[in-house]
Structure 1
Amino acid sequence: MAAEAAAEAGTRVTVLDHMPSPARKLLIAGRGGLNLTHSEPLDRFLDRYGEARARLAPSIRAFPPEALVAWCEALGQETFVGSSGRIFPKAMKASPLLRAWMARLAALGVTLRPRHRWLGFAPDDALRFDAPAGEMLLRPRATVLALGGASWPRLGSDGTWPALLPGCEVVPLRPANMGFAVAWSEHLRRRFAGTPLKRIAVSFAGITLRGEAMITEQGIEGGAIYALSAPLREAITAQGDATLFIDLRPDIDLPELARRLAPRPAAVSLSNHLRRAGGLPPVAVALVQEALHGGAARDDLAMLVKALPLRLTAPFPIARAISSAGGLAWSAVDDALMLKRHPGVFACGEMLDWEAPTGGYLLQACFATGRAAGRAAASWAVSQKPR
């Protein structure tokens, strides 16, 4: 996006990518349908970025969701709004969009050089690269760094770039939109790993959200968990663990559920009672039994179903997170996203210090900051031309 914006401004642009082919993270995002952005009102949309709202707002206001949709459709990829307000290309994948985009960049004169890994700055501030023919130096008038976070490192963004920017403040990279470790019993792990928890509600720190989750061998993950991952991660960092509460029947209020569950015939097992009277699927029954074996009170079964406590001991590693928090501190860049210690060098995307939930917010901010950095770099490059 930075390359497109700079090329449209009339500058000559080269993209150097250390992977053999471009946009691998975009392609992997396309496996889930390629959630480009979200249709909610812009002010509410911006609130999703939390503490980074004020710094991201200028870029996103300049290239809001409707502009991203128009950009996508101009590449021949029609979009639609899903039932949750999320916006996707009708193709539900990234490859057609990427092919059209690469053709547009080529028409703009953008050159792509794969297998060129940035090694940092030379003493004279030239850019050092490990290239197929050996180490090389480049001295562009302006540079945009789009080095990513540290999630899915096999796709290219391995999070090693902070060492290449000595003197620039970097907030440590941490997992975001990830699952959490739970000490399951061997029975639950063996029987239910890979089983979805559908139509649940999760609560933590006064926030309750409906959604779905997935039991894994190591713990729990999924959309409902990702939405609370930031406060859960911070609580675990501060306290060593965090207790998430799951409502296994959010469609029924507590008094009605208590009425259904109160009379349990002596001949009916607890699991059958929870399944028949409570309407719980086998995985939910197993979670209730796990909680009871762990010491949960047995005298209020309905309350346990409506607020099942789940102790989370650690976030999943950043390598398997959807995105990452942390990155280049906002104090290290000016309002044009230029590094204060490196005039003419700009930064964008996930390498900046922000995080957001899934739902289109991740790609929107990457696209918008890329466009902003590309336009700013082009303006800088023009200002550096000999007169």
Structure 2
Amino acid sequence: MSTPEPMRPATSPPSPSRKLRILYIQPGTTLFAGIERVVDSICTELVVQYGSEFDIDVLYTSQHENFPAETRKYNRILRLAPTPLARFHTYRELIKANRYDLVVVPQVEPLVFCWLSCLGLKTRFALHLHGNPAHERTHFKARIMFLIAETVVLRRIPYIFGTSPKQLSAFVKRYKTRSRTVWLPNPVRAFAVRGRGDNDNARPITFVNVGRFAYQKGQDILLDAFARLRAQRPDVRLKLVGHGRDEPALRAQIERLGLHDAVDVEYHPTDPHAAFEASDIYVSTSRWEGWSLVICEALRFGLPVVAIDCDFGPSDILTDRRLGELVPLGDEAALVEAMRYYHDNLGYERGFSGYRKDYVDQFSLENVVHRHAEALRAAAKSE
């Protein structure tokens, strides 16, 4: 049974006789956010650092409302395919015409769909896990696709990439796949982080959470815990930064708990920079994750992190007490106590700010792109 490969120094790329042709499939979503941004960043850096070795195509089958205006360095292929049948034909026609050395598909359902569209073609695929597959079999179609994956497709996929070592281990154990697994950390963006000013020291201590307003992200858990903390420390503030269908329910919860004057709901669609700089402590209350890029971004700003120890991600990142504290899922008292500790000991904890920033550098785009290049090289040439 395969196990995730650990982080290790990059190796020098070989001198290929020809460039390897790689196709990344983007999800057919409307918002340029998590997976979309990761794929865009990685593919851009692959062209910058490995352009002599790889030709990188990225297929978009939908328009993204907040897609960057700048021309992309990779070859962006935009073919609008709003229906499953249209996507099926788009995948098959594009892959057949270009004879890619490797097609990288995020998540299990899209992989199965893309694989089926290429039946009869000699196509090499890699699955790239971004989330938690255990929580993705939520409807009949998903269960059918996972059954096909388990009985047919995963037996024919030589490589599986994943964002978390524990995510990959759990996936291999659950699906008994013999595919080789490679841990490919998501890249953490660089921010121009300024120092603290007098106004920062004068404002109330502020907690922050960034993410989609959805059941997975657990903002409802955070609001209940914050209400209990505020009863003990009336000066605290909370920023909920994001968007999503659960926003009305969260706003109603804020009113019900009497937190309207202590909680700000904000939306920064492309850059949470302002919210991080105006906050002191990051809190992650996700019920499950694949990794948790936003925890890494909080560490980039030197913020201590309180995180629910969910599957997967937070425990892969918060490996040192100087980074933050993990609390059990479902233990609200432990969550409140951890938040209270950081509130009361913030001055001491700020002493580890530099350590947090240095720690997260290992996940910078410039560093993780080497692992991605190694994985593409191996997967594209695998038998």
Which of the pair has the greater relative contact order for Cα pairs under 8 Å at 6+ separation? Answer: 1
Which protein is richer in helix relative to its size? Answer: 2
- Look at both structures and tell me which one has the larger radius of gyration over its CA atoms: 1
Same fold by TM (over 0.5)?
A: no
Which protein is richer in strand relative to its size? Answer: 1
Alignment TM-score, normalising by the size of structure 1: 0.31
